């Protein structure tokens, strides 16, 4: 059996225990094995989940980032003129997150119909992706990755974290 417990509001740990009769001795002799770092604000329903963060840009626009459960940015939006448009962009990412991947790094790749993820190599030779909505508009982009496997992991993380009940944090609201 696995028992999860909160060690210090930041680190979740797992203690593996084995059932021997009525005894539950700690197989790790009192030591715990660090499982994952999950900031408190990412912990939802017993799982470390991602979230969308809406923020202002320097030029007065609004954008969102999708953060994985470990706090890493996995997708960024364009700059929107309004918070309402930004929230519509988030909903579009959620709707289209399960789309297929068009791997443009392959020779003679098959062009897929939108919505889709496009994986490509940029001018620096880094692997990148962009998520396109059904109208062909780019709704989210990722950072540069060193390998094809890494960029595909980034896409998989979007599919995992951009779910209908994802947490949306609005950092444009000024505190009084």
pTM metric for this prediction: 0.73
Range scoring the smallest mean pLDDT among 1-5, 50-54, 74-78, 134-138: 1-5
| CATH class for the domain made up of 47-170 | mainly beta
pLDDT at 6 over 60: no
Q: For residue 32, how many other CB atoms are within 10 A of its CB?
A: 16
- Tokens read off for 22: 């009525």
- Tokens read off for 117: 């993820």
pLDDT in tens, 114-125: 999 999 999 999
pLDDT at 94 over 90: yes
User: Is the separation of the CB atoms in 165 and 52 below 8 Å?
Assistant: no
Compute CA 43 distance to the chain's CA centroid, rounded to the nearest angstrom.
13
Q: How many angstroms separate the CA atoms of 85 and 83, rounded?
A: 5
Task: Give the pLDDT band (50/70/90) at residue 24.
Answer: very low
Sign of CA dihedral 13, 17, 23, 29: negative
Beta strands 138-141 and 167-170, pairing class: unpaired
User: Is the separation of the CB atoms in 76 and 56 below 8 Å?
Assistant: no
Task: Give the pLDDT band (50/70/90) at residue 173.
Answer: confident
Length of the chain as a residue count: 176
pLDDT at 144 over 90: yes
Domain boundaries, the chain: 2-37, 47-170
User: Is the separation of the CB atoms in 54 and 83 below 8 Å?
Assistant: yes
User: Is the separation of the CB atoms in 99 and 83 below 8 Å?
Assistant: no
Range scoring the smallest mean pLDDT among 28-37, 66-75, 106-115, 151-160: 28-37
- Tokens read off for 35: 């499982």
142: buried, middle or exposed (CB in 10 Å: 19+, 13-18, 0-12)? Answer: buried
């Amino acid at each position: 059996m696995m028992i999860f417990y909160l060690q210090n509001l930041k680190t979740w740990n797992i203690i593996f225990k084995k059932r021997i009769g009525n005894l539950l001795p700690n197989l790790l002799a009192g030591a715990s094995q660090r499982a994952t770092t999950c900031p408190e604000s990412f912990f939802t329903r017993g799982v470390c989940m991602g979230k969308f963060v809406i923020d202002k840009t320097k030029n007065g626009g609004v954008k969102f980032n999708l953060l994985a459960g470990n706090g890493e940015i996995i997708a960024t939006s364009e700059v929107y003129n309004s918070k309402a448009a930004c929230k519509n962009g988030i909903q579009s990412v959620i709707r289209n997150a399960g789309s297929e991947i068009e791997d443009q790094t392959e020779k003679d790749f098959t062009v897929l119909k939108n919505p889709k993820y496009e994986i490509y190599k940029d001018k620096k030779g880094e692997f990148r992706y962009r998520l396109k909505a059904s109208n062909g508009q780019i709704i989210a982009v990722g950072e540069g990755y060193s390998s094809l496997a890494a960029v595909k992991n980034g896409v998989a993380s979007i599919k995992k974290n951009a779910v209908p009940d994802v947490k949306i944090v609005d950092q444009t609201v000024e505190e009084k």
